[in-house]
Amino acid sequence: MPIKCLIPLLVSLALSACALQTPLPEQPIAPPTQWATESGGADITDWTAWQSAQLQSLQQQALNANLDLAGSIARLRQADAQLQQSGAGLLPQLSAGVGANRSDSERSDSDGNTSRSSYSGNLNASYEVDLWGRLRAERDAGRASLLANEFDHAGLLLTIEASVASTWFQRLETRRRLQLAEDSLANAQRVLELVENRYRLGAINSLEVSQQRTLVAQLQAGLPNLRQQYRQQSNALALLIGQGPDAELPDTAHELLADVQVPDIAPGLPASLLQRRPDIRASEARLQAANADLTAARAALYPSIQLTGQYGAQSLALSSLVNNPVTTWNLAAGLSQPIFQGGRLRARVAQTSARQDELLIDYQRTLLSAFIDVDNALSNVDQTRQRAEHLATTEVEARRALELAEIRYRAGAIDLQTLLDTQRTWYSSQDNLAQVQAARLQASVDLFRVLGGGWQASTVSYLENRN
């Protein structure tokens, strides 16, 4: 074929290959312009903002030994190997072989047999011309799948870190509540001694003694439940750091609940969430992989061109196979066009197209969930802050009321029931304050997590910017 006729054909084929590229769907959901709950604060990038050395130590242990993270790393290695397999089709395939043959034949004009040996060696090469972009699309799909797995790993890492923080703060909360319950029990026992002394003096009747003893028993009954909670939280923390029930965990006596800082976290603009959250990035990468799969499925409908070559050497003696062989070579090109396969190829196109539609819907749902998560977390941060302020005032006033009630009870100005009510109010205010302090910490952890946790996308994968 003349060159001037071949050039338009090649240009036409190249344009046809470009037409097979499947465009990515446009951004399905526009992010809100701002968050419903106003918030200032700083751009927190790591867990040091909580100023808890114990927490950072536990998180590092989790990163080193958590079994879920270890499984995720194994899945990353699988995805990386699959990417290498999908990219291998773009390269020429080479193989080599050697052979030896010996044959015997009986001659009719004389006794005996004639034996002949031959030896051969060959080098084979084959290459598929990726005219329609099928092989490139398969490689791109593998690359996007690996990227999605890496974002999944980043999301799991963030979840593990947040779980360690939540469990550690719950453990601090339970330790504080247990301490308060023990202090309250000691105070109730002290009041019981006072009541019993007054009873012995005949100042009160036995009913008041029974009432105070009931309060002491109620406080004693609450201790085992708190101790069990503490044990369960310790076991949960041990599991997160890849250890068993006998794990050596930091002593909560060395870090008080009130010592942990509640950082003021700036949420940033809603649009920035698309880059900050690993689950959004993973969903986007899977959508890109499905898009590449659809391109590959469409390209499979078109002809494939295979180039093959062989170079070989033959000799009747092994010694001359290298020094003086008979050489052979051949080059060939073949074109294969699917004609009838029972609709398998077109069904594959329909399947991958439906898969792309499904992942687009998943991406939309992930976006909506992310925006709602942040809105809920911001509201929770604000509400727990307000509750903490009110409960702190309540605890101060309840403590003052109890001090005055004890003085007045000793003086006989009030009855025991009034003192008991004042005691219960103070115990409750202390316990509620400890719970809301932990709730504030949990709210800050939740906000940090739903904002993406400060992970740096540039360090997650080197594949994203690879050509």
The answer to whether residues 82 and 301 touch, using CB atoms and an 8 Å cutoff, is: no
3-state secondary structure of 254: helix
Lowest mean pLDDT among 33-37, 219-223, 383-387: 33-37
Beta-bridged to residue 327, according to DSSP, are 313
User: What pLDDT is recorded for position 464?
Assistant: 47
User: What pLDDT is recorded for position 336?
Assistant: 83
Is the pLDDT score of 86 beyond 80?
A: no
Domain assignment present for 108: no
Domain assignment present for 396: yes
Q: For the domain that residue 356 is a member of, what is the CATH number?
A: 1.20.1600.10
Lowest mean pLDDT among 6-15, 77-86, 426-435, 443-452: 6-15
Q: How far is CA 359 from CA 84, 112, 253, 257, 364, in A?
A: 24, 76, 49, 43, 9
DSSP result, 281-311: HHHHHHHHHHHHHHHHHHHTTS-EEEEEEEE
**Residues 250-303: pLDDT tens digits?**
877 778 888 899 999 988 888 888 888 999 999 999 999 999 989 989 988 888
**Residues 166-213: pLDDT tens digits?**
999 999 999 999 999 999 899 889 889 988 998 898 888 888 899 889
Domain assignment present for 313: no
Lowest mean pLDDT among 232-246, 312-326, 369-383: 312-326
User: What pLDDT is recorded for position 1?
Assistant: 46
Distance, CA of 452 to CA of 450 (rounded, Å): 5
The answer to whether residues 82 and 144 touch, using CB atoms and an 8 Å cutoff, is: no
**Residues 208-249: pLDDT tens digits?**
899 889 989 999 999 999 999 999 999 999 999 999 888 888
**Residues 395-419: pLDDT tens digits?**
999 999 999 998 998 888 988 889 8
Sequence-separated (6 or more) residues with CB below 8 Å from residue 133: 17, 20, 21, 295, 296, 299
User: What pLDDT is recorded for position 69?
Assistant: 87
Is the pLDDT score of 41 beyond 80?
A: no
DSSP result, 175-186: HHHHHHHHHHHH
Q: How many CA atoms lie within 13 A of 457 on its CB side?
A: 17
In the structure encoding, which two tokens stand for residue 70, read together? 């270890």
What is the pLDDT averaged over residues 27-37?
78
User: What pLDDT is recorded for position 6?
Assistant: 44
In the structure encoding, which two tokens stand for residue 378, read together? 């911001």
Is the pLDDT score of 431 beyond 90?
A: yes
User: What pLDDT is recorded for position 213?
Assistant: 93
Domain assignment present for 28: yes
Lowest mean pLDDT among 34-38, 143-147, 357-361: 34-38
The answer to whether residues 28 and 366 touch, using CB atoms and an 8 Å cutoff, is: no
Domain assignment present for 285: yes
Lowest mean pLDDT among 19-33, 115-129, 276-290, 341-355: 19-33
What is the pLDDT averaged over residues 85-99?
79
Number of domains making up the chain: 1
Domain that holds residue 51: 20-93+132-302+347-460
Domain assignment present for 406: yes
Q: Closest by alpha carbon to 26, among 465, 456, 364?
A: 364
Q: How confident is the model at residue 466 (pLDDT cuts 50, 70, 90)?
A: very low
Domain assignment present for 103: no
Helix (H) or strand (E) holding 64: helix 53-65
Domain assignment present for 281: yes
